[in-house]
A = this chain, B = another copy of it.
Amino acid sequence: MNFPPAESGTKGKLLRAAAHVFAEKGYIAATVRDICQRADANVAAVNYHFGDKKNLYDAVLRRLFSECEGPSEQELDTSLPAEERLAAFIRRSVLEIYGDSDLNDDYGQLAALFLMELAHPSENWPNLIHEYMLPDSLLLHEIVSKVLGPHSSPEKIRQCCISIYGLMAHHALCWPIISVIHDDHPELRSFRDRLAEHVIEFALTALRGIKDNHNESHTRLA
């Protein structure tokens, strides 16, 4: 949640403070007074700069999504081996999901905001998904269908794509469970890179095996 220095006035301070407070307490429990106090601003500032509380929340959410990077050249280069592109996709996605550790001092708030939306999606949540997550998802679909080869059903491809997201996101979403059950689990921050490599191993191993299974059953039928 790092905002460009351009918005360093009251409006920018409000956005930063709102991101923090919304994430910490949730949309309803977060009060305009909380946010303004944290932003060193008057109670009326929110309504002056954003109209109302809901508009401020929408601005925070949109800002959050817009910070996502796009895919790297490696992922897009269709001349490279599909497995290599998948590894690059997973490394970048895990980095995005778990934050840039050093730069970003308030990871976890991000996950909290995300979980809130998943529990009770706001009005323009579908728009944000379409705009910011669909392109990545289509790229993953293209890569996975190549890894799986020509004999895989559309449903199997889709299930594998969703499974890969599940592998990547689970720590971020279910940390309040994982940290209780595995009380010796390393902190998310220090664990991020190892997680990426594990997901790559787990997903690639599964995809290769599934490809072979389906090829076998395909040639057996032929």
Contact = CB atoms under 8 A, between A and B. Distances in A.
Interface stretch (A2-10, A69-77, A85-93, A167-175): A167-175
A129 B121 CA distance: 26
Contact of A134 (B25, B163, B181): B181
Contacts of A133: 177, 181
Interface stretch (A34-42, A53-61, A99-107, A154-162): A154-162
Contact of A158 (B129, B158, B185): B185
Interface string A81-118: 00000000000000000000000000000011001111
A117 to B, nearest CB: 7
A139 to B, nearest CB: 12
Question: Size band of the A side of the interface?
Answer: 35 or more
A26 B111 CA distance: 17
Contact of A202 (B116, B163, B173, B175): B163
Contacts of A213: 201, 205
Interface in A183-222: 185, 194-195, 198-199, 201-203, 205-206, 208-210, 213
B119 A181 contact: no
A194 B137 CA distance: 21
A58 B162 CA distance: 33
Interface string A118-145: 1111000110011001100100000000
B174 A169 contact: yes
Interface string A12-54: 0000000000000110110000000000000000000000000
